[in-house]
Structure 1
Amino acid sequence: MSMGRPKVLVTHPEVPLTAINLLKESCDVTVCEGLPAPTREEILTKSKGMDGILWATHCKLDAEALDAAGPQLRSISSKSAGIDYIDVVEVKRRGIPLGHTPGVLSNAVADLAVGLMIAASRRFTEARRILDTCDWNVDSPRWMLGQDIQGSTVGIVGFGGIGQAIVKRLKGFEVGEFLYTGHSPKEDGEKLGATFVTFDALLKRSDFVVVSCPLNHETNGMFDAVAFSKMKSTAIFVNVARGDIVHQEALVDALVNKRIYAAGLDVMSPEPLPIDNILLKLENVVLIPHLGSATIKTRESMANLAAQNVLKGLAGEKMICPV
């Protein structure tokens, strides 16, 4: 254990100052500098000798990273809800307290999910390209681009904080039926008027399929060609979770061959998406660059929570949001 004030590394220079200043009250803080994002080499080099780390990138936090920091490391928190880039087993094997930041981003991600539902179902990408050609003809069937949310069946895959926040927001849209799937029914599902069904039933019955589950060994690639083949040809697919939950080639095939109506994606694989990727060329998909939690208020709340987790770990106390 280091003598005197604990040493803490913040792995990204754009972490809100409120969080950095909170750490500085009782710790000596080093902040990585590289932009647009620090390299893994910089992070691992600067982590040497640190007592705590506020891990604010999606760079892998694995045995190599832990070894680079050294055996004195005794507190880590990610600045994210998802922890798919963290080797949780290895961190816990070494007895290092690990925190993350769920909950505080649920509302921002849910807002975005609803926005993508509207943008994809009303084919914003295709409509925008009509503007580019000045081919306006309001009497043409081509202008009838949309599917309605009102009266539809909305299926939520992953009924945690984000999934439930999506349902709450959609109540005002007069949705016909809410479905959700997972390991087991949830009491909150009944309170929100959502019905627990199997994954297959959700795919077959839903007009909108919204993905808000974590990425893990069960969900990795769960949306494959078989899954898309079970969906309605009029279905809209929305993903605000992780790109690797989807077999992207299967999604492209479903969109190109009109096996589903449209998709709205905040996440994809890889990220950043190469500029020549076919998804960027399709008219029936709306893409945004992983903006789920990207509001000023939400990102600040996430950073502050991560900083508090780190401080709790350093003090030998239970973190506010432990993994």
Structure 2
Amino acid sequence: MKETKQADGIVCMLTERIDKELLENTHHLKIIANMAVGYDNIDIEVAKKHNIIVTNTPDVLTETTADLTFSLLMATARRMTEASDYIREDKWGHWSPFLLAGTDIHHKKLGIVGMGRIGEAVAKRAKGFGMSILYNNRTRKYEKEKELNAVYTEFDNLLSEADFIISLVPLTNRTKHLFNKQAFQKMKKSAIFINVSRGGTMDEKALVNALKSQEITAAGLDVFEDEPIPSDHPLVRLDNAICLPHIGSASIETRKAMLHLCMENVVSFFDGNGPKTPVFE
């Protein structure tokens, strides 16, 4: 807080809260460069009120985050972490037909909630597995449906039809706890839920109950409501949940590109050329 009072610009990460108190106690602040696509860590309305520019890092992390999303889907479906732990714990005594048997991915039905850049990139990967793709988005994307062989459907229908449901929506008042008790109840018992957006889009208690009661089969999570989570978190303790420490864009190449874009935004703004990737005009 002390340093920001005199700052002309701030480069921040999604773990840092840029709230009303901070924004109203700065004297020279003109730009905030957020090292993330999402910007729910920043009070956008207060920033607008004080004419403070906010930028993010779209595009540069799309493919890397899509890689992680599909990797998490695969690892969850095929129980990879369980299988790795099985050997580490010296439990592998013999081969058997259904030892750690998971579920197929190919030719299954994928439901993407939030068909933005990352959603589209995930859909491209799913095509290679012969998956059929359902999607729900705030606005329908007619031009992408033919390219991706994707079918637009209502949220409730996606929940009940898809074998894999991926959350890729930003965290807003509308999407907070979008995946709640009722949502999990509408999913197939064989469904696998993947969240690589924001932890607040899911009700963690409802998800724990759905997994414990086998209302759904499994979950793969890269995000949580309160981060970091402790090792005794209820989701970490479940065999049918894979939990990752928010590493969606965590490749060396992409993290460097994100930081570079943050600095480009700041330099371009102070050079008088305007920010490269503002989140609002």
TM-score range, shorter chain: over 0.9
The residue type paired with residue 171 of structure 1 is K
The residue type paired with residue 55 of structure 1 is C
State the 1:222 CA deviation: 0.4
Matched, 1:203 2:159: yes
- Partner Cα separation in structure 2 for residue 45 and residue 209 of structure 1: 43
Contact 1:123 1:285 in 2 (8 A): no
Matched, 1:45 2:7: no
Match of 2:47 in 1: 91
Correspondent of 1:55 among 12, 18, 30: 12
- Partner Cα separation in structure 2 for residue 276 and residue 188 of structure 1: 42
- Partner Cα separation in structure 1 for residue 159 and residue 117 of structure 2: 21
- The TM-score, its normalising length taken from structure 1, stands at 0.82
- Partner Cα separation in structure 1 for residue 220 and residue 201 of structure 2: 14
Q: How many residues align?
A: 277
State the 1:277 CA deviation: 1.1
Q: Deviations over 1:271-293 (max 9, x none)?
A: 11122112111111111100001
Consecutive unaligned residues of structure 2, counting only runs of 5 or more, are: none
Secondary structure (helix, strand or coil) at the match of 1:98 reads strand
Secondary structure (helix, strand or coil) at the match of 2:5 reads coil
State the 1:206 CA deviation: 0.3
- Partner Cα separation in structure 2 for residue 188 and residue 263 of structure 1: 27
The residue type paired with residue 179 of structure 1 is L
State the 1:133 CA deviation: 4.1
Matched, 1:139 2:89: no
Correspondent of 2:211 among 243, 255, 260: 255
Matched, 1:310 2:266: yes
Contact 2:222 2:248 in 1 (8 A): yes
Counterparts of 1:20-35 in structure 2, within 5 Å, are none
Correspondent of 1:165 among 121, 145, 150: 121
Matched, 1:233 2:196: no
The residue type paired with residue 45 of structure 1 is K
My pick for the range that moved more, 120-129 or 253-262, is 120-129
Q: Deviations over 1:148-204 (max 9, x none)?
A: 1111000001100100011112222121x1010012310223321111100001101
State the 1:136 CA deviation: 3.5
The residue type paired with residue 196 of structure 1 is Y
Correspondent of 1:119 among 39, 51, 75: 75
Matched, 1:290 2:218: no
Contact 1:124 1:286 in 2 (8 A): no
Match of 2:25 in 1: 68
State the 1:255 CA deviation: 0.6
Secondary structure (helix, strand or coil) at the match of 2:157 reads helix
- Partner Cα separation in structure 2 for residue 261 and residue 170 of structure 1: 20
The residue type paired with residue 238 of structure 2 is L
**Aligned-residue identity in percent:** 39
- Partner Cα separation in structure 2 for residue 113 and residue 202 of structure 1: 18
The residue type paired with residue 82 of structure 1 is G
Counterparts of 1:272-287 in structure 2, within 5 Å, are 272-287=228-243
Secondary structure (helix, strand or coil) at the match of 2:133 reads strand
Matched, 1:299 2:255: yes
State the 1:47 CA deviation: 1.6
Matched, 1:182 2:126: no
Contact 1:108 1:292 in 2 (8 A): yes
Contact 1:155 1:202 in 2 (8 A): yes
Q: 1:75/1:315 Cα in 2 relative to 1: closer, same or farther (>3 Å)?
A: farther
Match of 1:214 in 2: 170
- Partner Cα separation in structure 2 for residue 56 and residue 117 of structure 1: 26
Contact 1:74 1:313 in 2 (8 A): no
| Structure index of larger Rg | 1
- Partner Cα separation in structure 2 for residue 83 and residue 190 of structure 1: 31
Contact 2:9 2:31 in 1 (8 A): yes
